[in-house]
Amino acid sequence: MEKKNVLSGIQPSGVITLGNYVGAVRNWSLLQQEDRFCYYCVANLHAITVRQDPTELKRRTRAMAAMLLACGVDPKRSALFIQSDVPEHSQLSWVLNCYTYMGELSRMTQFKDKSAKNEDNINAGLFTYPVLMAADILLYRSSFVPVGHDQKQHVEIARDIAIRFNNAFGETFVVPEPLIPNLGGRVMSLAEPTKKMSKSDPNPNAFIAFTDDQKTIMKKFKRAVTDSEGCIAYNPQTQPGVANLLSIFCIFTGKTMDEALAYFEGQGYGHLKTAVAEAVIETLTPLRLEYERYLADEVYMETILREGAKQARTLAQKTLSLVYDKVGIGI
């Protein structure tokens, strides 16, 4: 059976949160199946659309790779690499820029959102960001791209670019499909449960970080916003804080919502918060310890990332060479 390729990347914009883990990263290990080969990259080229401290960016890039390994990315079944170590990403991106329309890019939601947040740095890279993402995907003949609902638009524009190029030059790219995992609910902010948990939240009590220790996790959950209703019920509209805690409990225990509600029947919010914290701690603590072990082993990390980039470049070079030949700039 021919393997289907999967591509996914994550920016080294800081420590992953509980929301990142549930919504994306924990699923990466599950995608490593016999009929698939996964290409996983730390997307440091995407990160520089926002001004970065160079030393800190390098540190976070290596730390993110260690987190992915700790979360189950297996170098024997996947290629784990740093995006900038595979120059074909940037090279293909330029060609695809020439087959992408300004109107398409101007409609991208992320450009609008990031422009609003970075009014003093609305740069061309921010505008053409989706083209580099399309290059990431199309380089590896990716059949599937695991994304959340908010990233689906990027896969759609990659599909449009691939189809346009194929129509002009014949079959060149695999047209990718978005792969939206259905493996758990959305994790909301512990401080403002009507909005998504985010590592950029100025309130550190609003999110659980991958590197938080047991004491910190317990403290943050005990400070989680609930309400004055006083009863544990799942109603995201009227009791968003309680609903968020219940969802997290179900995700980390494997219980259904009905089972969770039965478990907490007659209990108070304090018991709910403690139980959720304990469930999260049980999962995250061994992962955090693994992360620290990987990060401390510089030789191993260097070897894994070098081999991952070498493996990625084997296919990336073939794809780029084919594209160059099609457009008339190949040797």
The catalytic residues are 114, 196, 199
- What token pair was written down for 184? 């758990």
User: Could you tell me which of 134, 129, 90 has the C-alpha nearest to residue 109?
Assistant: 129
The neighbour count for residue 282, using CB atoms within 10 Å, is 12
Q: Which position has the token pair 């003093």?
A: 120
Q: What's the DSSP call for residue 195?
A: S
How many angstroms separate the first and last alpha carbons of the chain?
34
Q: Where are the alpha helices (DSSP H) in the chain?
A: 18-20, 26-30, 44-47, 54-70, 88-97, 102-106, 109-117, 124-139, 152-169, 214-222, 240-253, 257-263, 269-296, 298-327
Give me Rg for the CA atoms of the chain.
21
User: Could you tell me which of 322, 326, 329, 330 has the C-alpha nearest to residue 140?
Assistant: 322
User: Could you tell me which of 288, 273, 306, 220 has the C-alpha nearest to residue 16?
Assistant: 288
